Amino acid sequence: MKMLNVALPKGRLGEKVYAMFEKAGFECPSIKENNRKLIFENEACSVRYFWVKPSDVAIYVERGAADIGVCGKDILLEYSPDVYELYNLDIGKCRMAVAAKKDFTDDVRRTLKVATKFTNIAKNYYDSLGRDIDIIHLNGSIEIAPILGLSDVIVDIVETGTTLKENDLEVVETIVPISARLIANKASFKFKSELVEKIIHSMEKSND
């Protein structure tokens, strides 16, 4: 059987994802060795895993360097890669939300300044409301923006809400729930669907 290339997101989520693959019977023990290798394979299971930056998983899958991968729904919504979204792993759960300072009130007569890493998600959300906005694209520490007056609100991922609370911010609106999704390259799926389906069914079974 041909090898299936699987892109795993580096970090906490990736470790949880690998554990799901392992529980489903697609283990690769060498992945747990303490070294700096990035590619691991198990010929017996016909799988090859590799670690990539979480926001790059969708690119590897869309371009066929990986047949399947796991990434957050936030990445799929932001970059809209042309991939199949085959399974909701239901882990890495959080939400995309609008947050602002505790005393913030929205004056609809003014253009709303929105700081975010997720410019497409923010634009689509406010387009659906017909709200005029000025998007400020930031790469990190988004929570500081409203505190320093750079923006009125932020659009960002919220997990427990602790970071917001500690910076005197609060969630104003939930845009969409987020969780980890198993995605597949559309072309690879045509020729490797049997193995991909086997993985999904095994994951569904071991999650029950």
Partner 1 sequence: MAFYESVLNNGEKAVFALRSLYESYGYSQYKMSKFEEYDLYVKNKDFLISDSVITFTDRTGKLMALKPDVTLSILKNGKDKTGQVQKVYYNENVYRVFGEGFKEIMQVGLECIGDIDGYCLYETLSLAAKSLATISQSYVLDISHLGVIESVFDAVCLPEGSRAAALKCIGEKNTHELCEICKCNKISDSGTAMLKGLVSLYGAPSEVLPKLRELLKGADIAALDEFAEIIEAFRTSDIYEKLRIDFSVVHDIHYYNGIVFKGFIEGIPSSVLSGGQYDNLLCKMGRKSGAIGFAVYLDLLERLSANDKKYDVDILLLYGEDISITALSQAVDTLSKTGSVAAQKGIPEKLKYKRLMKITESGVIEV
Interface with partner 1 by CB under 8 A: which residues? 62-65, 82-88, 185-188, 190-191, 193
Provide, rounded to whole angstroms, the least separation between the CB of residue 64 and partner 1.
2
Among 51, 52, 54, residue whose Cα is nearest residue 78 = 54
Provide, rounded to whole angstroms, the least separation between the CB of residue 181 and partner 1.
9
CB closer to partner 1 out of 32 and 186 = 186
CB closer to partner 1 out of 36 and 190 = 190
CB closer to partner 1 out of 50 and 87 = 87
What amino acid is encoded at 184 in this protein?
Answer: A
Token output for 142: 């988004």
- The angle at the Cα of 135, spanning 129 to 139, to the nearest 5 degrees, equals 125
Q: Who's near 75: CB < 8 A, 6+ residues apart?
A: 54, 55, 57, 58
Asked if residues 100 and 120 have their Cβ atoms less than 8 Å apart, the reply is: no
CB closer to partner 1 out of 147 and 176 = 176
Bridge partners of residue 178, in order along the sequence: 94
Asked if residues 86 and 180 have their Cβ atoms less than 8 Å apart, the reply is: no
What amino acid is encoded at 121 in this protein?
Answer: I
Provide, rounded to whole angstroms, the least separation between the CB of residue 187 and partner 1.
5
Provide, rounded to whole angstroms, the least separation between the CB of residue 189 and partner 1.
8
Provide, rounded to whole angstroms, the least separation between the CB of residue 205 and partner 1.
16
How far is residue 104's CA from residue 45's CA, in Å, rounded to a whole number?
54
CB closer to partner 1 out of 84 and 104 = 84
